[in-house]
Structure 1
Amino acid sequence: MGGRLLIDGPVVRVVDWARPAAACWVDAAFMVIRLVGAGHEPADAGQWATGLACWTVAPDALTAFACYVTCLWTVRAAQGGGSAAAWRAQVARRYAADRQGR
């Protein structure tokens, strides 16, 4: 697990260091995209996030994030990431398009 386990006596925590310095709303934004991928409407998925204390993101920043994730997965799919990467790109694209009112 390469440093992902923090052990303090009987307590063991698994830490995802992938985005340790990201804004507090980033994990929730990824979850919103996952909810869209699970079949929820983008607006409904976004509404879920508004109940979270960390959801302090400006609308333009969230739209930029959605576009970034779309590009990230589109590039990975083009580089041979397979059907999973293509599907993630499609889901992120749907969310980004909704954010842009398309």
Structure 2
Amino acid sequence: MAQSDRHEARVRVRGQLIKRHEALMAREARIRAEVLEAAAAILTRDRAVLEAEARLGQALGALTSTEGMPIDEAAELCGLDVKEAKRLLRMRGGRPNQQQEVAGKVAHS
């Protein structure tokens, strides 16, 4: 094989490797963008769940304390099992900023 043939082969191989590397980098960038989108969607979902649970806990608290309704009856009327209703009431009755602390942990994860 002549010296010029080897040089041409090296140039071709280098060009192919550069194209392959660029394709891999583009794929990595697309993957990174989709993972970022998924992570943002998860945070949005988690915040929405926390807000809905806080509202539900407040409503259950009003039913049980203000209206004097037994928790099992309030849970049934709201379509919850008693265990879930008690959990929501405990969250509501926790430390004053417990919901915000949990939301903050979700945001930083």
- Which structure has more relative contact order (CA 8 Å, sep 6+)? It is 2
Please confirm whether the aligned pair reaches a TM-score higher than 0.5, indicating the same fold: no
Per the normalisation by structure 1, the TM-score is: 0.32
Q: Higher helix fraction: Structure 1 or Structure 2?
A: 2
Q: Normalising by structure 2, what TM-score?
A: 0.30
More strand by share: 1
